[in-house]
Amino acid sequence: MNKKPNQKTNQKITHEINQDTTSQESNIEMQNGKQEISLKTSKTFSKRFIVLLPIISIFLLVGFDQFIKHLAVINLKDHDPIVLIQGVLELQYLENRGAAWGILQNKQIVFYILTIVFMAIALWFYIKVPKNRHYLPLMSAVLVLFSGAVGNFIDRVAHQYVVDFIYFSIIDFPVFNVADIYVTLSVIALLIMILFQYKDDDMKFLTRRGK
């Protein structure tokens, strides 16, 4: 007489345990599913970020260069130079149809070809660089370099010359612009990083295929 209630009780307990186990397994599966969705979302966001960040950066840098050149045209063209530091630094308008020190004057086709090749190499280099924090300085320098090339390329295509306006009179350095600063500083930064910051193993990505 006493065994039947015990069997029913045991069956009930076993059933409850099975339900709890099934419920726990279901919760674990839901959590795993949510984690997978979260990881996929995170990866998608990272890919979008990697694509959008350089585009936005280039757009802002080139936009700033073009805006400053526009101000130079408005305020400096057909006007006397503006002296910022007497005997050292001044702003003067110059339409540069060549390169520094007057070389390759009116050789726009040469500049088109060189600039396109230059930008293609910079773009190839940026694509090859692993997209992680270790290479962030390298990627940033390449983006600035690319932006400088684009800034002056726009001038040459639109006007057949580059607007220059910054002049260091103390050393009689060729008149230059913001895009030139981008290119010069980024090249110096790249040389320093490649020679002193990154080791040979860090640069092996350049010889890897499928990147």
3-state SS, residue 96? strand
Catalytic site includes residue 20? no
Positive or negative: CA dihedral 174, 180, 186, 190: negative
The catalytically annotated residue of 80, 164, 172, 201 is: 164
The catalytically annotated residue of 180, 200, 201, 202 is: 180
Using CB atoms within 10 A of its CB, is residue 105 exposed (0-12), middle (13-18) or buried (19+)?
exposed
Helix 3-76 crosses helix 178-192 at what angle (to 10 degrees)?
A: 130
Catalytic site includes residue 180? yes
CA 52 – CA 201 distance, rounded (Å):
28
Rounded (10°) CA dihedral 161, 165, 168, 173: 0
* 168, 176 Cβ separation under 8 angstroms: no
CA 142 – CA 119 distance, rounded (Å):
10
Catalytic residues: 164, 180
